Amino acid sequence: MFVGREKELALLQQDYIGKAVMVYGKRRVGKTTLIQKALESHNCPKVYFECLKGTLQDNIDGLVQELVRAQILPVPLQFTALQDVFAYLNTLPQKMVVVIDEYPYLKAMNESATVDSIFQSIIDNRIANIALIISGSHIGMMRKTLQEKNALYGRFAATIKLNELSYLDAAKFYPDKTPYEKAAHYAVFGGSPFVNQMLCPTATLRENIIHTILNPVSPVYLYASQLLLSDYAVKINAERIFAVLGNSKKRYTEIEDKLDAKKTGNLAKQMKPLIDLEIITRNNPINKLGDNKKSGFEINDNLLRFYFTFLYKNASALQMLGAEAFYDEYIAPVLTDFISRRFEGICRDYFSLQAHAGKGRGVRNIGSYYYDDPVHRKNGEFDVVLEYADGYEIYEAKYYAQPMTLDEIHREVQQVEAIRELKVKQLGFIAINGFAEEEGPYTYLNGKDIYAEES
């Protein structure tokens, strides 16, 4: 099932003969599916080769085998340089598309700069009749090939950074559910097409959790527990960091304290590859962008959050109790709180989609707002905030099973009004199941609003 990606697909379906294109994004985000879908529109021979974790010669031989399979080469010819493979292909009369997938595998097992130089030479001189697509899952490594000091800088006619599906596109995997149920599924399973196609669209959230993430032989369980960590050289440290973060956002010093990492000073090195891969995100409140003390780190993948919140430390209990009893004992009592925190992210994404659609005029930034409340001697963050030149729109996001009441609205209004430093342009409320009553000059949004297709 191919969902979303309309802009990316249209871009990749263009004629790139004589040019190179880059597609990158984390594992299981749908890069290969997107490329294969785009290739359906190309009426010429196509070759797809996934790089091997081996030598250059291993990869040359592997590429040749794929060229034979695609009937571009009649027999497995012998080559000792990748440049020679493409030089030979350039002598052929037909146009073709060549996909080099998991390019970082090739770089990791060989001299990285040399590999980039080889492909610089190929792109500059040996693809006159070829559309070359280079793809990879290691986000940090792929980004480095786009930097000015890299040999491949300026060589790509188009660059596609593929992210997870938005909450709106992910909901197309379970279209008949209510907004309340859609938000819950996205909060748990995230926007990976690979994960979402494993769900039963008619099953309850409980059933989908039990049959996938609580099933040790399910591809979804394996994705969360192994695949995201399989490429990391610091797997054990990554797991410890994820376990500390769980479903929360923590500052660097808090993570250090939890891991007792101040003595070694290695935490920054351990976190860097996770940030490069966009598995962990560093966020600053929009009114404290330059203040490192106010920045917080959190897991960027909803399914990974769920796994490290509920399963990682309780694996033995899952084995002893079984999936259903484990769900009832460990997950059900606190699942709504887990979903509520993710719902705030859905609300920020809603406004981001609005801005991309040209409906957020004047918005300068979207995020959270850090505040000090001297009256009650506390500080905290408003989690859904839109910044304008003349102030802020503040939204309180509520994932309630019932409509939000007027008393609850009044309490939220008082909390916002207590922050004297805050220039409030507009105050609003987002309640997934709507409102018992509406009053005052506030903006009201419900689940049907944020899941409206025109969003």
> What integer pLDDT is reported at residue 126 of this predicted model?
95
Chain-centroid distance of CA 407 in Å reads 37
Query: What pLDDT does residue 125 have?
Result: 95
The whole-number pLDDT of residue 230 equals 56
- Return d(Cα 345, Cα 341) in angstroms, integer: 7
Task: From first to last of the 455 residues of the chain, give the pLDDT tens digit.
Answer: 788 889 999 999 999 999 999 999 988 889 999 999 999 988 899 999 999 989 999 999 999 999 999 999 999 999 999 999 999 999 999 999 999 999 999 998 889 999 999 999 999 999 999 999 999 988 888 999 999 999 999 999 999 999 999 999 999 999 999 999 999 999 999 999 999 999 999 999 999 999 999 999 999 999 888 765 555 545 657 888 898 998 888 888 888 888 887 766 678 888 888 888 788 999 999 998 888 888 899 999 999 999 999 999 999 999 999 999 999 999 999 999 999 999 999 999 999 999 999 988 899 999 999 988 766 677 888 989 999 999 999 999 999 999 999 999 999 999 888 888 889 999 999 999 999 999 989 999 999 999 996 54
Token pair belonging to 380: 């905290």
* CA angle in degrees (0–180, nearest 5) for 413-414-415: 90
Q: If residue 446 lies in a helix (H) or strand (E), which one and from where to where? A: strand 443-446
Q: How many CB atoms are closer than 10 A to CB 452?
A: 12
Q: Quote the CA–CA distance of 447 and 184 in Å, as a whole number.
A: 12
The Cα 250–Cα 126 span in angstroms is 49
Cβ contacts of 315 within 8 Å, gap of 6 or more = none
Delineate the domains of the chain, giving CATH numbers in brackets: 6-161 (3.40.50.300), 168-335 (no CATH), 340-450 (3.40.1350.10)
Q: pTM value? A: 0.90
User: Are the beta carbons of 106 and 59 closer than 8 angstroms?
Assistant: yes
Strands 378-388 and 365-373: antiparallel
Within 101-160, residue ranges assigned H as helices are 103-108, 112-125, 139-144
Q: Quick one: 10 exposed, middle or buried, by C-beta within 10 A (0-12, 13-18, 19+)?
A: exposed
Q: Which two tokens stand for residue 256?
A: 């250090």
By DSSP bridging, strand 378-388 and strand 424-431 are unpaired
Helices (H) and strands (E) in the chain, counts: 21, 12
Burial class (CB in 10 A: 0-12, 13-18, 19+), 62: middle
Structure tokens at 302: 């909803």
